[in-house]
Amino acid sequence: MKFRPRLISACIGLLVVTTPGMAQSQRVFEQGGAALRQEGSVRVQTSINFFVAGPSGDSDEAQKLRERARRSVYEMAARECDLLREVLARDCRMESVNTNINRQFGPQQAEGFHINGSMSFQITLK
């Protein structure tokens, strides 16, 4: 591979030119990952894991069981901002909710689903 100092210099120059523009915004307190955070705000992440016993196949009953499990995670997410406002938040905004359902079956295990839920909120502290 051939070393190209002009290309490297151009890339470094571009980085130097664009970096000061990002630091000038007064609303940005911290940049982590792809999200920006305002001063006085905090990201809160909550996770829940539980097991629901029942049929785990393709039947209507198994489908209803999966829907009930997802509904539990969504209902928890819907109430989480109320709880955060009671305890430590002046304002709360939900950013994301994720659910993951894994089937469990076998002769030595209870048949059902393992449910993992996670949610993320952006809050402004009191």
Per cent of the chain over pLDDT 90 is 63
User: Residue 81 CB: number of other CB atoms within 10 A?
Assistant: 18
**Whether residue 54 has pLDDT greater than 60:** yes
Which tens digit of pLDDT belongs to each residue from 41-50? 999 999 999 9
Which tens digit of pLDDT belongs to each residue from 31-43? 455 455 556 899 9
Which tens digit of pLDDT belongs to each residue from 87-111? 999 999 999 999 999 999 888 889 9
Two tokens at 110? Answer: 């209870």
- Which domains does the chain carry? 26-125 (3.30.110)
Residue whose token pair is 């609303």? 27
Q: How many CA atoms lie within 13 A of 26 on its CB side?
A: 0
Residue whose token pair is 């920006």? 36
From residue 66, alpha-carbon distances to 53, 72, 94, 97, 111 in Å are 11, 10, 23, 16, 13
